[in-house]
Each structure stands twice: as C-alpha cells, then as structure tokens.
Amino acid sequence: MSSTTQAAPVAPPDPHAEHHHARRWIILVVLALSQLMVILDSTVVNIALPTAQKALDFSDSDRQWIITGYTLAFGSLLLFAGRLADLFGRKWALIIGLAGFAAASALGGAADSFTTLVVARVVQGAFGAILAPAVLAILTTTFRDGRERGRAFGIFGAIGGGGAALGLLLGGVLTEYFSWRATMFVNIFFAVPALIGAFVLLRHSASGSRAKLDLPGALTITAGLFALVYGFSHADTDGWGDPVTVGMLIAAGVLLIAFVVIERFSQHALLPLRILLDRTRGGGLIAMFLATTGMFGVFLFMTYYLQANLGYSAVKTGVAFLPMPAAIVFMAAIIIPRIQRRVSPKILVPAGMLLGAIALALLTRIGVTGHYTADVLPSLILLGLGMGTLFSIAMSVSTLGVAPSDAGVASATVNTMQQVGGSIGTALLNTIATTAVTGYITDHLAQATDKAGQLAVQAEGAVHGYSVAFWVAAAIFLGGAVVTGIVLRRGVPEQFLHSSAEPEIIHA
C-alpha cells in the first residue's frame, strides 16, 4: 500500500460561501429540514393511499398516478432546475422550492377529488425539483473543511438513506391516528421553519457570468428523463411489452443520446460533461444510481411481507423498519466522518455495496411464516450499515471539485441518479417478482387438492417472488461494488483531509 494521496482538482472559492461558512451549522439544520421533507414525501403518502382512495373514490388503475405524477415532475425537471439555481441564485431557488412545495401540500391535503390530488402531487414534484439541487449545492459550497465536510455529508447522507424508511413510519402514524390528509399537511411543518431560516441565514448569490441558458439541452434532457421515468412506471403496471412502454423507453434513449451530443458542442452546456467524466464524481454517481435501484426493493416487498405474512399494522410496519435508519445514522454521522480521511472512497463505497448485497441475500431466507427477529432484523441492520457507508461518501464525492458556478447542476445530477434509480428499481424488481409469482403458482397449483392448498400455494408464490427480487437486488449491489471499485480513483481526495499532518492513508 502507498501512503501518498491523489488530489482532486480544487474548485476556486465562492466569495458568498464565507458568509454561509460562518453560520454553517445552523444552515445545515435548515438544509436538513428541507431535504427530510422531500425524502419523506417519497414514501409517507404510500401508506395513506388505500385510505385516500376510499375517501376520494378513485380506481386501482388511477391510484398509481398519485405516485407517478410526483416522480415524473421531480425526475424530469431536476437538471433544468439545478442549472437555473446556478444562474439565478440558490437562496431564491430554495425559498421558491420550499414555498411552492408547502402550497402544493396544502392543496393536496384539502383535495376533494382525485384530479386535485394528482395536480397537487405534480406541483409538489416540480417544486421539489427546484428545492433538492439547491439544498445540496448550498451544502457543497458551505462546508469546505475536510473534517466538517465529512460530518455534514454524513448527516445529509443519513437523511437521504433513512428518510424513506422514516416516511413509512410517519405515514402509518398519521394515517392511523389522524387522516390521510395529514400526510400532505405535515410538509408545512417542515417548510415553514426552513423558509424562515433560509430568509434569515442565506445570502443571495447568482452566477457572475452572463451565460445563456442551454435551451436545446434543457428541452432534450427534460423530455428524455420524462420518457424514461414514465416508461419504467408504465412497465410496472402494463408490462414491458406494452407499446407505450416500449415507445417511451426508445424515445428516452434517443433523447438522452441527443442530449449528450448537444452538451458536447454547446458553448453554454446545461450539464458540462466534465462533471460526469471525472472518475471520482462518476464513481459516486454510479453508486447513488445502483444503490437506489436495489434498495427500493426492500421498502416495496418488505412492506407487503410484514403486513400480509406477519400480520403487522401500518404503524407496526413503520416501527419494524426503524433499525435500518438507526444503523444508517450511526454509520453515516458517527463512524464514516472519523475514517473517511484515512480510508479511500475506492474502499468505502464498494464496502457499502457489499454490505447491501449480503443483507439482501440474507433476506431470501424469509418464509411464509417467518420471524422478524431472525429473518428480517439482521438484514435491515446490515443494509443500514451499508447504506450509511455508501450514501455519505457517494454524495460527497459526487459533487467534489466542481466549480461553484456548477454546484447546482452537479447536485441536480446526484438527485437525478437517485430519482431515476428508484423508478427503475421499483419497476424492474416488481416486474421480476410478479413474473416469478406467476410461474410458481402455475407450476404448483395443480398439486393443491382443496381451497386451503390453493391459498397456501399463493402465499408460497408471493414469498418466492420476493426472494427472487431480493436475489436480483443483491446482484445489483454486487455489480455496483465491482464497478465502483474499478471506476473510483485510488487515495483520499484532498478535500477530505483536515490538515497535512494526517496518519497514513489507506489506499485501494
């Protein structure tokens, strides 16, 4: 092992960052509240859907649009919104995003029809796309010291990895003890203090240049991401062979290739390719994409398993997930900041991926009459430790070394990887599980001689489908460990180092 480090290019300082740096820890609280609101909203509404469906009287086929409407707007507008924040100022992007998200949440909570609720969710997604890149960009430009940056990104990574699981608990509590409407109104309680903090603490900073907005790039990437997210969402409900699914995915491929060509030759690129082609940042982005692709299978299938097989209520299901975010927080906020200045991301990121792969492989042991403590809990803890390791490091290196003028679009790219990864993971794993269930029941139903036997085969088929999906998700994590181990640079980035007097650095 060598004891030298390889320094990543250091971005020039942002003059406005000095003001933020002096108030950095209280600013972190504002950013954490904003990020938690967006992350919670990806799952908090899910548990409330059956109750909302009954109250507003919409069909099962319509139900998907409560989720899809949000993800389509959020995922397709992220890069465009991130560049707008770079050009016109992140403080106002954050404030507009928070205010719009809160207003849309109030509209959704007061909805008296399915159409109103869908419109509210689409508007939520649009303002979330403005909000999320601004949050990460402000964090990136505010924390520059290696030790403090590690702690800040550890906290941020813990929110990113654990917020979705906490959303399941919060959604269950609000739905069971209050109303499905509370899962929408609750966002206001996050947005208002974050808005006050943003007004008081942040200083407006916009691009000092007169760079033009890359409209061809903006149109192609927005349309391409829309087609991609819609295509995978449509596959989840109508199958991969459906003409709409195929057409959308082909359109997405064509538009995304066109976007790369446009960015290659554009003088004012929406997403400068240098952001993606750096090995350190590229490895972090790959990790974020593959981790969210594989992780969403846990939330999707374990929710069904805990309620249908173990008989858990919505609230008890949320409580059952808590060990996972607890492990994420422990790893991301306590352990990783202590070791990231000594251990290379080339080791830490693949290690997090491997822990995720082991956790998902262990989940394949579940049975129709399983036990939470023996069959579920160890995997949730292991997955939490892996995600706590991975998210805090991957988020940090994904925006490392970018110029302050590119911080918004670089942050939007991180969020895009998460959003698209989650959409692909949900559709892919659900389709695989459904196919496995159908095959199992077809092969075994003839052996059932009575109604009880048929019900038993159906229950066994469901668990078999979950297990197959967990194996696929484990393979995604294992592949992610290999790819990130190859792509990421050796050594610890210079920005992770607190001073030159450091112990020996562990390299890959």
For residues 126 and 206, membership in a common domain is answered with yes
Please indicate, yes or no, if residue 6 is contained in any of the structural domains.
Answer: no
Please indicate, yes or no, if residue 503 is contained in any of the structural domains.
Answer: no
- Judge contact between 393 and 333, C-beta under 8 A: no
Between the alpha carbon of residue 241 and those of residues 183, 204, 247, 277, the distances in Å are 35, 49, 10, 34
pLDDT at 184 over 80: yes
pLDDT tens digits for range 124-145 = 999 998 998 888 888 877 776 6
For residues 357 and 425, membership in a common domain is answered with yes
- Judge contact between 157 and 392, C-beta under 8 A: yes
Please indicate, yes or no, if residue 317 is contained in any of the structural domains.
Answer: yes
For residues 294 and 392, membership in a common domain is answered with yes
pLDDT tens digits for range 257-294 = 999 999 888 887 888 888 888 888 889 999 999 998 88
For residues 92 and 221, membership in a common domain is answered with no
- Judge contact between 388 and 327, C-beta under 8 A: yes
Write out the residue range of the structural domain in which residue 218 sits: 214-269
Longest dimension (CA), the chain: 76
How many structural domains comprise the chain?
2
Cα–Cα dist 177/467, whole Å = 33
For residues 148 and 54, membership in a common domain is answered with yes
For residues 294 and 404, membership in a common domain is answered with yes
pLDDT at 19 over 60: no
For residues 204 and 220, membership in a common domain is answered with no
Using the 3D structure, point to which of 251, 269, 287 is the last residue of a domain: 269
- Lowest-confidence segment of 94-108, 320-334, 437-451 by average pLDDT: 437-451
For residue 359, give the CATH number of its domain. 1.20.1250.20
Q: For position 298, what pLDDT does the model report?
A: 77
- CB neighbours (10 Å) of residue 410? 26
Cα–Cα dist 251/254, whole Å = 5
Between the alpha carbon of residue 496 and those of residues 87, 112, 190, 345, 461, the distances in Å are 28, 51, 31, 10, 48
Please indicate, yes or no, if residue 507 is contained in any of the structural domains.
Answer: no
Between the alpha carbon of residue 243 and those of residues 191, 238, 369, 428, 451, the distances in Å are 41, 9, 40, 17, 37
- Lowest-confidence segment of 202-206, 355-359, 474-478 by average pLDDT: 202-206
For residues 286 and 205, membership in a common domain is answered with yes
Mean pLDDT of the chain: 82
Cα–Cα dist 362/303, whole Å = 17
- pTM exceeds 0.85: no
List b or e across 475-501, with b for residues whose CB sees 16 or more CB atoms inside 10 angstroms.
ebbbebbebbbebbbbbbbbbbbeeee
pLDDT at 501 over 50: no
Q: What is the 8-class DSSP label of residue 268?
A: T
